Structure formats: C-alpha cells, structure tokens
C-alpha cells in the first residue's frame, strides 16, 4: 500500500550509492557486511543522509568503471549500469551534463568544470611567470654572467642543461599536429563528445585515437598499468581530464612515469579547451510517489550545498585525495620514490679552470666600469644642481 504524499515527507528511505576507488584513492573500504565510504566522502554522504532523511548503503561494481554504453541497450556495467538496473540510486559524485542517456533524473546544476590535456614532460614548466623589481636585478646579473661565460669559451657545456622536451600540448589540435596518442578515461574525459564529433577539433582527436586503436575509453587503473610498462607511452600519450581529476591524479601519473623511465618526469596541464556543467543525478526507482519525493529531497540538498559553496567541499575532497596520492600509488604498484636520475640530456663536462681567470678579469672590469659611470653621474648631477642654484633669479 502506497503512503500518501503528505506522509512521505517524514519517511526515512533506504538508498544505495554506487562507488569505486579511483587509481587506488580511498573512496570505499571493504568491511564484514559490504562496503563503506571513507574520509571526506563519508562526511559528505553522512550529511546527505541527514539532510534528505535517508539511510544509505554502498555497492561496488564488478569492474571499477563508469559504465559502457551500447546503442539501444544503455549502460551494461559499471556504476551507471548499476543505476540503470535499479541496483543503485546515486553515484559517489556529480555527473557531467554530456553523459549519454543518463540512467536517472538530473535535479540541479552543481558547478561548472573545465577540461584540460595532461601530458608528461622531462622538466617542469613555468606557468604564469611574473617579473618584479626584486627579481629583475638578479635576472640581469645572471644574464650578464651567462654572456661573459659564453664569451670566455664556456667553462662547461651548457647546451643541454635544461634538456630538450619538444613542444608542449596546449590545444586539441596540438595532439594531432604533434602525433600524440590521446587517451580517454572512463567517465572522466567527456568521451561521448569526441565520439560524436561535436566540433572539428573533437572529431580530429577521435580520429587520431582511432589511428592508435585508442578510440574507446579505458579505466584509469588500466591506463596506469599501461604507462608503467614503457617510457614511450608516457612521453607520447596525453590524457584528457576535467580539472578535478587532473588535480587528483597528476602527481600519481608523474610518479608512475618517473619510475617507468628512471628519470624525473613532470605533468604539464594545458589551458582549458572546454567547459561543461556537472549535475546531481538520482535514480528514483519505480514507485512514482516515492520517486518524486526522492527527487525533491535530492534537489533541495543540491541547492543548499550550492548556496553554501560546494567549491569548498570539492576542494576538501581534492586535497584529501592529493595528500594520499603518492602513498596509495606506491602501495598499489610497489613503486619507489627515490629513483636514480639517469638523464642523458645532462652532460656536464669537466671544468676548465683556465677560463675562470678570464671570467674574473672581465667581471672586475665590468664592476669598475659601472662604478666609474655611477661616479660620473653623481658629479654631473651635483654640478647641474649647483649651477641652477647660483644663477640670478631673473634668469631662473
């Protein structure tokens, strides 16, 4: 017997949340009677349950994937497959609006998220450089020393001090132009937009992926295992991710690729190439009255956390995952954090001390010239002011 709508407002419902760990980050933990959320995820969903008057249980899919979509069928596996089969009512986080045939109802837009290209380089990149008064003097001093060092015949080889890393991947078309291998992460790379070719750049990247037989999304854990095998896949592959996922996984990918190549690698994050909305998705079940009440409560919760600043909650989750990244990845793959640096681009030759005498003489000459110029300036300035002061008032 279905209860009246007025009584449903005070009813406590049981819901199921579908979740899985992302690249070894602790989202769920296995216990005697099933699974439970951990860390900030537990805090978030405890707040959700309290606000919406629900009790939740956690289920994990057979494979830790977002879900495989098939035309005419929908999602057959993963956490979205669990929602479509009425095995779950919610997924562990918000869902992008571009999700194909979402198995549920979108209630509220929670935030906008930007998408970027993550690539691996041999050295760190300088982003948003600024030059102020304090560092300008040191910059000029270093430039002066560098010039005189080159004039003196170069005490050691400076041709490869920074190494060669090639061009950075800043745009989608750079992936094609530089013949990179695009990798789509399951549930994190807006794959449907590339598959559907919503723009010529998206279509070109998907065609590029087809060329390397990488035109299907893969679980992030599988990507990590692939990049662990060879250095080539680290330097030639690029991953398309939203900024939240990049903040969480970039350090882990750095560690994996550094271990694979036995030299230090760094993640380079491109400027955003796309922005999309993320929403709260709920599968209300088959009971119409209960379903409407669940949708109402879910929408109210989404509106409340949006008003209070969901960005702060997201930042806590990102920080929580980032702080545990190296620990979780090293445990998962048995990696080391103290790998030896064996970089052929660093070829320092033995120092030629005979050149330092010339450098020293040139630096002394430069200092004397600067001092002489400063003295002449002060004398000229003093004489100019004195002449002005002694001139007749009628001529001033």
Q: What is the pLDDT of residues 223-273, one digit of tens each?
A: 666 555 577 888 888 999 888 788 777 887 888 888 877 788 888 999 999
CB 58 within 8 A of CB 17: yes
Domain presence at residue 30 = yes
Domain presence at residue 61 = yes
pLDDT at residue number 309: 60
Signed CA dihedral, 133, 134, 136, 141: sign only: positive
CATH number, residue 91: 3.40.190.10
Residue with tokens 């978030």, as numbered in its chain: 44
Locate 319 and state its tokens. Answer: 């920080």
- Tell me the mean pLDDT per 10 residues along the chain, length 396: 61 92 73 86 90 93 83 88 93 85 88 89 50 49 56 43 59 93 87 86 94 86 62 86 82 80 85 89 90 92 74 54 52 50 42 56 73 76 61 48
pLDDT at residue number 343: 44
Residue with tokens 């030759």, as numbered in its chain: 349
pLDDT at residue number 253: 82
Domain presence at residue 72 = yes
Q: 3-state secondary structure string, 240-271? A: EEEHHHHHHHHHHHHHHHHHHHCCCCEEEECC
Burial of 376 (0-12, 13-18, 19+ CB in 10 A): exposed
Pairing of strands 69-70, 74-75: antiparallel
Domain presence at residue 101 = yes
CB 325 within 8 A of CB 122: no
- The contacts of residue 309 (CB under 8 Å, 6+ apart) are none
pLDDT at residue number 109: 83
Domain presence at residue 220 = no
Residues in the chain: 396
Locate 23 and state its tokens. Answer: 């690249």
- For residue 163, what is the DSSP state? -
pLDDT at residue number 110: 81
Q: What is the rounded CA–CA span in Å between residue 65 and residue 18?
A: 11
pLDDT at residue number 24: 54
Q: What is the rounded CA–CA span in Å between residue 258 and residue 245?
A: 20
Locate 182 and state its tokens. Answer: 């695009």
Alpha helices in the chain (DSSP H): 5-8, 39-52, 78-84, 133-151, 172-177, 191-196, 200-211, 220-227, 231-236, 243-261, 288-308, 310-323, 325-333, 354-390
Strand, coil or helix: 150: helix
CB 342 within 8 A of CB 263: yes
Chain-centroid distance, C-alpha 378: 54
Domain presence at residue 239 = no
Domain count, the chain: 1
Strand, coil or helix: 37: strand
The range of the structural domain enclosing residue 53 comes to 5-110+280-329
């Amino acid at each position: 017997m279905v209860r009246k709508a007025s009584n449903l407002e005070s009813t406590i419902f049981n819901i199921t949340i579908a979740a899985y760990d992302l690249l070894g980050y602790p989202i769920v933990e296995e216990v005697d009677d099933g699974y439970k959320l951990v860390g900030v995820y537990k805090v978030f969903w405890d707040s959700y349950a309290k606000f919406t008057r629900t009790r939740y249980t956690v289920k994990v899919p057979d494979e830790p994937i977002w879900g495989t979509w098939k035309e005419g069928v929908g999602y057959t596996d993963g956490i979205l497959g669990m929602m479509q089969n009425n095995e779950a009512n919610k997924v562990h986080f918000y869902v992008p609006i571009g999700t194909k045939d979402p198995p549920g109802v979108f209630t509220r837009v929670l935030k906008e998220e930007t998408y970027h290209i993550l690539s691996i380089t041999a050295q760190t990149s300088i982003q948003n450089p600024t030059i102020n008064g304090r560092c300008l003097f040191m910059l000029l001093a270093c430039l002066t020393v560098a010039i005189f060092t080159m004039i003196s015949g170069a005490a050691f080889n400076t041709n490869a001090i920074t190494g060669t890393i090639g061009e950075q991947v800043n745009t989608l078309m750079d992936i094609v132009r530089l013949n990179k291998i695009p990798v789509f992460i399951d549930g994190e790379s807006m794959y449907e937009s590339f598959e559907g070719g919503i723009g010529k750049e998206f279509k070109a990247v998907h065609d590029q992926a087809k060329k390397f037989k990488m035109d299907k999304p893969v679980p992030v854990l599988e990507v990590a295992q692939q990049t662990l095998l060879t250095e080539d896949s680290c330097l030639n592959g690029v991953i398309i991710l939203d900024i939240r996922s990049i903040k969480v996984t970039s350090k882990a990918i750095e560690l994996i690729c550094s271990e694979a190549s036995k030299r230090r690698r760094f993640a380079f994050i491109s400027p955003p190439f796309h922005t999309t909305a993320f929403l709260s998705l709920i599968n209300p079940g088959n009971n119409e009255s209960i379903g409407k009440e669940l949708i109402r409560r879910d929408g109210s919760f989404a509106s409340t956390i949006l008003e209070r600043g969901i960005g702060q909650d997201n930042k806590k989750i990102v920080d929580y995952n980032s702080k545990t990244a190296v620990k979780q990845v090293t445990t998962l793959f048995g990696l080391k954090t103290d790998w030896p640096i064996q970089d052929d681009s660093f070829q320092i030759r033995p120092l030629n001390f005979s050149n330092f005498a010339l450098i020293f003489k040139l630096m002394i000459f430069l200092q004397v010239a600067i001092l002489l110029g400063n003295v002449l300036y002060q004398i000229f300035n003093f004489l100019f002011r004195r002449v002005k002061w002694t001139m007749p008032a009628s001529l001033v």
